[in-house]
Each structure stands twice: as C-alpha cells, then as structure tokens.
Amino acid sequence: MREIVFDTETTGLDPAGGDRIVEIGCIEMINRAETGRHFHAYFNPERPMPPGAEAVHGLSDIFLSDKPRFSEKAGELLEFIEDSPLVAHNAGFDFGFLNFELGLCGHPIVCTSRMVDTLSMARSRHPGAKHSLDALCTRFGVDRSHRVRHGALLDAQLLAQVYIELTGGRQIGLGLVEETDDTGLTPSAGTVTVREHRIARAHCAADEELERHRAFIAKLANPLWARFTAAS
C-alpha cells in the first residue's frame, strides 16, 4: 500500500485569517517502508513573515522572496501524492492549509477521508503521555539530534519513522509462516546452532527393576497392576 507522510510550515495558525503555507515536505512509503522518493518545496507566501513563525521554522522574508508561489507547484505536488492516504501529525491542521491553498489556485481539494492523523493514533495508544513529534521520537528511539528547528521535509522524515512504530514497528510484516532462502534455511540475524539428530533410546525396564516392582505390588491388597505383572 502506498502512503504519503507529509508536513507543512506556515506563516501562522489560520489560513482563513491570511496565513499561508511556506514549505511542504512529502515522503513516499510503500507497505510502511520508505522508498527514497520525496517531494519538497518552499513557497513565497506573498505576505510578511511574522516573527513568531520565523522563530519556529527559520524561514525569513528574504529567503522566501525568490521562491515560487504555491500555485506554481500545486500540479507537481498533486501528481506526487496521487490518490494515496496522507499521513500527518495533527493532520487536521495540515489538511486545512493544504486544501485552502488548493482552493485558492482552482484545484480540487483533498478529501479528508484520506487523512491519517498520527496525533490521534498516539493519544489512543498512549493516553496521558506527551504526544508532540519530539516526545514520540524520544519514546520510540528515533534520532532527532539534527532537528534544531522545524522543517517540513525533516519533520516528515521523522514522522515516517514514528508512524512505522505506531503501526507495529519494524516487525509489522512478521507472520506465522517463515520464509526460507534458496538454501532452504530460514534467514536469521543471529547465530544458528545445528544439533546432531539422535536416535530415540529404548526405555525397557531392567529385570531387577521388574522384580522390585513385583515385590512392591505383592504388598498391596488386590492391586490392579498385578494382572500386568503376572503377564510379564
């Protein structure tokens, strides 16, 4: 199954109030594994960058001034995501901005039925815990040491690893039927110990053991074992 993990950076929190997307990063996954394909773009929001937003992602007016507008890259973005499910952290936020931008430039919006929200997944799996991307990276041992500021592509890459853990971890494909390689052996990451086959040993009682058993039975009143002892 093909899925797209994505993240956005914006000028603020409310697209209806004039805020715009300034960066988007998308990671392609097939069967919960990253393929190496991605889509990444910066956009000129055609409005000043508020200091608070710049402090979060570090994208300044000067840096974005020569970047394309969202409308110029929308077709390329839609071609990349196709009709795949879209995974995001607090997905309602990212979907709201994405669909607002698509609507502004005359493209069909993305149906929210395609939305996969890792924040909701994390809250359901770990109620009462911290559910920020940083907190989930720490919980699942995802290295985020290179994350100094928010960045759409970097955050999408981190989220892809978190999503794998939220949906079963690296062993999600583990089944009850073991696969074998061309030698007929089951591949293993550890050391395989091969033991020599042993022929089953005979378990017949010795004559002296049978005699002791007869003596024991003789002391019992009408023992059931007596018929078998007599037969032997």
Residue with tokens 């974005």: 64
Rounded CA-CA distance 77/64 in Å is 18
Active site residue 107: no
Q: Tell me the pLDDT of the chain (232 aa) as tens digits.
A: 999 999 999 999 999 999 999 999 999 999 999 999 999 999 999 999 999 999 999 999 999 999 999 999 999 999 999 999 999 999 999 999 999 999 999 999 999 999 999 999 999 999 999 999 999 999 999 998 877 678 999 999 999 999 999 998 865 444 444 444 444 444 444 455 556 666 666 667 778 887 888 888 788 877 776 666 555 5
pTM of the model: 0.72
From 150, 197, 203, 213, the catalytic residue: 150
Q: Are strands 86-88 and 2-10 parallel, antiparallel or unpaired?
A: parallel
| Pick from 92, 136, 133: nearest CA to 115 | 92
All structural domains of the chain with their residue ranges: 2-166, 207-232
**Which amino acid appears at position 124 of this protein?**
S
| CB neighbour class for 101 (10 Å; exposed up to 12, middle 13-18, buried from 19) | buried
Rounded CA-CA distance 103/108 in Å is 7
**Which amino acid appears at position 109 of this protein?**
I
For the structural domain made of 2-166, what CATH number should be given? 3.30.420.10
Q: Which two tokens stand for residue 18?
A: 């004039």
